[in-house]
Structure 1
Amino acid sequence: MTESPRAALPSLNSPPGDRLEIVNGWDADTPYQSWRPQILVPPTFRQASAPRVFVVVNQKGGAGKTTTTVELAAAWAAAGHRVRVIDADHQEAALSAWLLPQYPEGSERHSLRSVFFEDCTLAEATYPTLFAGVDVVPSSVDLQRVEYERPIGAEQGLAAALAQEAEEAGGRSPYDVTLIDAAPSLGLVTVAALTAADEALVPIKVGGLDMKAMASLHKTLRSVQRKTNPKLSVGAVLLTAWDKSTFARQLATKVSEDYPEAAVVPIRRSIRASEAPLSEEPIRLYAPEAAPAGDYDQAAAVLLPGRAAA
């Protein structure tokens, strides 16, 4: 493949009225008519610093994991960070199809499966995308081999690959941010992703079924913290496809109680944003005026400030 020029990811200059207010607590007595979407940053929240490994996880499909991964990656790249995304979901390989890894012509193509089976290093499985500052470790359906062949040490495989890469780079990851897009199931690869991460980011679609699925996810996260990754914390819960409703308010309150250390960020619904994957561009390029572009931009800044701010 001939190397294509990489598009710069622009900063967003949303009008002040389109930005979400950031608060340390919610006023439960605010009348419905006066209630507005707000980002909750509780006193227990701790902002991250680079380098950082995030895993985007939800055991229910359709919650917006891949969109969250792509948009946060784009926001951090636009803020000056060097970002890598890892596609850890074999189902339809949506992340790899959206970001289109640019494989060198005439070279063997590697993937996350290759890393688990130690056929290559993590660096060798990392490829540039069409967007400046964002690289990708792709996957395809062959990632399922990890689940049924179970290579030795697979639970720790991704953490070990990240540690090896940092050691070879002089003790520090060559990326400011690594974002892992996990599968919507509790398989071996998902456990490996949770074991490798510093923080979990949890997208939850505003809906009754997603609220029911929260109990299973909460149990999984706490189990990983006890057994394979005691340093794992929940950095943010992102309420995707958000519309103003009493239910949305109840859901936000529930997740803030379940994860008191996490920021809670509403990501407003937008038809334009849902079209972005077909354009093979992040929302901030395809529809920068859409509310989710600004919402994800704010979420990224809350979680990990840009280079200038840092």
Structure 2
Amino acid sequence: MTESPRTALPPLDSPPGDRLDVVSAWDADTPYQAWRPQILVPPTFRPATPARVYVAVNQKGGAGKTTTAVELAAAWAAAGLRVRVIDADHQEAALSVWLMPQYPEGSPRHSLRSVFFDECTLAEATYPTLFEGVDVVPSGLDLSRVEYERPIGAENAIAAAIAQEAQEAGGHSPYDVTLIDAAPSLGLVTVAALTAGDEALVPVKVGGLDMKAMASLDRTIRSVQRKTNPKLKVGAVFLTAWDKSDFARQLATKVSEDYPDAVVVPIRRSVRAAEAPIAEQPVRLYAPKSTAAGDYDQAAHLFLQMPEAGA
């Protein structure tokens, strides 16, 4: 493949009226008809510093997990951070299709499966995308081999690969952010992703079935915390396809009670945003004025300390 020129990801210029309110507690007395979408930031929250490893995870498909991974990555790259996205979803490999890794001509093509089976390092499986500041570790259907062949140390494979890379780079990760897009299942690869993560980011579509799936995810996260990664925490819950309804507010209240230290972010429903994967562009490029692009951008700036302008 001939390397294509990379597109810069621009900052967004959202009008103040389009930005989400940021609150430390929900207002339960206001009727939902008059309720504006709000980002809940608990008093215990502190922005993280690079380098950071996030895992976008939900047991149920269709929750907006891959969109969340792509949009946060694009927002951080637009702010000047160097971002790597790891595709840990073998079922459709949607992230790899969306971001289109740029493979060098004449070289073997590696993937996340190659890392699990010690065929290459994580750096060797990392490729540039068409977007400046965003690299990707791709995956395909062959990642499913990890589930049934179960290579030795698979639960720690991604964490070990990230640690080895940092060691070889002088003790610091070459990336400010690594964002893992986990499969909509709770198998071995997802456990490996959570084992490598500092924080889980949980997209939940505003609907009852997604809340039922949260119970299984919560059990898996707690098991990982006990057995392989005690530092893991749920950093944020994204309420995707959000629109104004009493159920949306009930859902927001419930997840804030279940995860009292997590940021809760509504991502407003946007038809244009849903078209972005087909165009093979992040939403911030395809529909920069959409509410979804602005909501993800605002969340990204909350989570991480950004570099100073001109630094």
- Give the match for residue 184 of structure 2: 184
- Give the match for residue 16 of structure 1: 16
Q: CA deviation at 1:44?
A: 1.6
Q: Distance in 1 between matches of 2:305 and 2:19?
A: 16
- Stretch deviating more after TM superposition (294-303 or 28-37): 28-37
Q: Distance in 1 between matches of 2:245 and 2:156?
A: 42
- Give the match for residue 38 of structure 2: 38
- Give the match for residue 222 of structure 2: 222
Q: TM-score if structure 2 supplies the norm length?
A: 0.98
List per-residue Cα deviations over 1:206-259 (Å, max 9, x = no partner): 001011111111111111111110000111000000010000000000000111
Aligned length: 310
Q: Distance in 1 between matches of 2:235 and 2:100?
A: 28
- Give the match for residue 284 of structure 1: 284
- Give the match for residue 294 of structure 1: 294
Q: CA deviation at 1:46?
A: 2.5
- Give the match for residue 204 of structure 1: 204
Q: TM-score if structure 1 supplies the norm length?
A: 0.99
% identity of equivalent residues: 81
SS, match of residue 200 in structure 2:
strand
List per-residue Cα deviations over 1:79-127 (Å, max 9, x = no partner): 1100000000001100000000000011000000000000000000000
- Stretch deviating more after TM superposition (31-40 or 122-131): 31-40
Matched, 1:194 2:194: yes
Q: Distance in 1 between matches of 2:222 and 2:307?
A: 32
Matched, 1:304 2:304: yes
Matched, 1:111 2:111: yes
Q: Distance in 2 between matches of 1:214 and 1:135?
A: 30
List per-residue Cα deviations over 1:38-91 (Å, max 9, x = no partner): 000011222211000000000111100100000000000001100000000001
SS, match of residue 284 in structure 2:
helix
- Give the match for residue 235 of structure 2: 235
- Give the match for residue 244 of structure 1: 244
Letter in 1 for 2:247: F
Matched, 1:99 2:87: no
- Give the match for residue 263 of structure 1: 263
Q: Distance in 2 between matches of 1:92 and 1:230?
A: 30
- Give the match for residue 126 of structure 2: 126
SS, match of residue 203 in structure 1:
strand
What are structure 1's unaligned runs of at least 5 residues?
none
CA-based RMSD of the aligned residues comes to 1.0
Matched, 1:147 2:147: yes
- Give the match for residue 67 of structure 1: 67
Answer yes or no: is the 8 Å Cα contact 2:49–2:304 preserved in 1. yes
SS, match of residue 221 in structure 1:
helix
